[in-house]
Structure 1
Amino acid sequence: MDIEQARNAQNDRNWSEGPLPLQDRIVPRQQHPQQVMCWAGVGYGVKTPLFFVPAGTSINGEVYREFLRTKVFPWARRTYGNRPWVFMQDPAPSHKAIETQDLIRANVSEFIEVDISPQRKNGKWPATSPDLNPLDYSIWNELKTRACAKKHQTVEALKRSLLKAWDEIPQEMINRAVDDFSKRLRKCIQANGGYFEDK
């Protein structure tokens, strides 16, 4: 997410009986606004803290595995204890590395694997997953809408806004998004793994 104000070109409209002044018709944007990368996880009745990736960090397999070891798995152990839970992620290169999947398998009760390569076809997750992750089809947009309603002057201000917005997202909204997963999965199966958003 970046420090610019979030705008929805489809839904943000100005209705006027006459021409709007020029400053109301132009949306100034920086060419390369400062950004922050964050990671979060959700489940029915739970959400992780919002974790920020240090600026300039390239997320390769080694960095991602260290993040899982030091942040995600300790949180999961505190939250779930001995109760079963399922870990799901998209097929980003750092996620589908063999070492990463081995690490996850050794630390969680159940894991939805992704294909390591198109030739192996050993994963259970669609290769081009059409928004089956509750964060992707619901929660990230809600976070951006809440946190980026106005432009931020600094990355630190954006981080504060993101943390506040994350804390304010109701668990009921997350639970509904998680409940939608099985419906979306059925639609994905009906579409043979293809696009299904408007079906």
Structure 2
Amino acid sequence: MVWLGVCSEGLTTPVVFEDGTMDAERYIKEVLPVARKCGNNMLGVHWTYQQDGAKPHTHHLTQEWCANRDHFPDFISKNRWPPNSPDLCPLDYSLWNALAESMD
């Protein structure tokens, strides 16, 4: 499991999770704090966090955590996210293959 943030300012450092599966509880505890830190470091206080339709992302606890303004300055909820758009989710369609090939 790899988490990576991307925006107009660049890429975050990839975070690799080698043990077990990713569920909402682990995602909230281990991934979202990294996302918040990276977003704040790259973009300051005015930015929006957006996810795709993976189960840990759409879980109601994750949605509640992300919607809390103490966690992210702004958040696009699953209700506003198109589930299968290659235009809005370029990592799923291009970058992950390049990243996987470079790790071999």
Shorter chain as denominator, the TM-score bin is: 0.7 to 0.9
Alpha-carbon RMSD across the aligned residues, in angstroms, is 1.8
**Structure with the greater alpha carbon radius of gyration:** 1
Query: Hey, what does 2:95 align to over in structure 1?
Result: 139
Comparing both chains, which one has the higher relative contact order based on Cα–Cα distances under 8 Å and sequence gaps of 6 or more? 1
- Of 21, 26, 31, which aligns to 1:68? 31
> Aligned partners of 1:76, 1:105: CA distance in 2, in Å?
15
Check 1:80–1:143 CA distance in 2 against 1; reply closer, same or farther (3 A cut): same
Unpaired segments of 5 or more residues in structure 2?
Answer: none
Please report the TM-score for the alignment, with normalisation by the length of structure 2.
Answer: 0.81
Check 1:69–1:38 CA distance in 2 against 1; reply closer, same or farther (3 A cut): closer
- Of 22, 40, 58, which aligns to 1:59? 22
**Aligned residue runs from structure 1 range 23-42, under 5 A:** 37-42=1-6
Query: Hey, what does 1:100 align to over in structure 2?
Result: 62
| Pairwise CA distance, 1:61 | 0.8
Please report the TM-score for the alignment, with normalisation by the length of structure 1.
Answer: 0.46
Contact 2:3–2:14 (Cα < 8 Å) also in 1:
yes
Unpaired segments of 5 or more residues in structure 1?
Answer: 1-36, 115-122, 149-199
| Pairwise CA distance, 1:142 | 2.2
- Whose strand fraction is larger, Structure 1's or Structure 2's? 2
Query: Hey, what does 1:130 align to over in structure 2?
Result: 85
Contact 2:50–2:76 (Cα < 8 Å) also in 1:
yes
Check 1:38–1:134 CA distance in 2 against 1; reply closer, same or farther (3 A cut): same
> Aligned partners of 2:34, 2:50: CA distance in 1, in Å?
16
> Counterpart amino acid of 2:22?
I
Cα displacement string for residues 130-167 of structure 1 (whole angstroms, at most 9, x for unaligned residues): 3231211221122234333xxxxxxxxxxxxxxxxxxx
| Pairwise CA distance, 1:69 | 4.3
| Pairwise CA distance, 1:50 | 0.8
Query: Hey, what does 1:164 align to over in structure 2?
Result: none
Identity of aligned residues (%): 28
Contact 2:9–2:42 (Cα < 8 Å) also in 1:
no
Q: Which runs of 4+ in 1 moved over 3 A?
A: 145-148
